[in-house]
Amino acid sequence: MATVLPKLVGDRIKRREDPALIQGLGRYVDDVPTVGTLHAAFFRSPYAHARIKSLNVEAAKNYPGVVTVLTGADLLGKVGTIPCGAAGPGMKVPVNHALAVGKVGFVGQPVAVVVANDPYIAEDAVNLIEMDVEGGCSQSHRNGGGGSARRGRPGAGGPARYAQSAR
């Protein structure tokens, strides 16, 4: 007589980890304390396309708890480019740097990275970075797309400040 295997498709499977997760007792990698862990936060472009006139990271570098701030210029020649995963025959392969060098080509492109002892310090320091652009095409033309030198959000005058963390 053949052994009957349990039906797995369409049946409920008793999961052992559910009670802890439902009760808020789950343990995640981010919850594990580790000594000496550094945290990174990225300064990202709010512009779809713009030339970077200046990038001021001095205030972020001097912020207490910040280990270092890196820009595309710092990585140029030390870190290779990011390969294009969809290069076909006859296709012009773009050069993609880990951090923007001289210009930004899409909204959210990493421009600088802050490395700090604490994720909150890294995020605070990212907010101190100032970027002055020329010919900035914002993510929405209704926000005042086009033009140059904006502060805060696309459409407001002055250098751009835009932060998004990555842990």
pLDDT digits 0-9 by tens, 53-66: 999 999 999 999 99
What is the three-class DSSP state of 123? helix
Q: How far apart are the first and last CA of the chain?
A: 54
For strand 163-165 and strand 39-44, is the pairing parallel, antiparallel, or unpaired?
antiparallel
Widest CA span of the chain, in angstroms? 80
- Residue 160: what pLDDT? 41
Mean pLDDT value of segment 67-92: 89
Q: What class has domain 36-81+96-165? A: alpha beta
CA–chain centroid gap for 85, Å, is 20
pLDDT mean over 112-119 = 95
Q: Is the pLDDT of residue 82 over 50?
A: yes
Q: How many CB atoms lie within 10 A of CB 114?
A: 30
Residue 17 gets the label, from left (phi > 0), alpha (psi -120 to 50) or beta, of alpha
- pLDDT score recorded for residue 138: 59
More confident residue, 148 or 98: 98
| pLDDT-based confidence at residue 28 (cuts at 50, 70, 90) | confident
Strand partners, 51: 103, 134
Question: 140 falls in which pLDDT band (50, 70, 90)?
Answer: very low
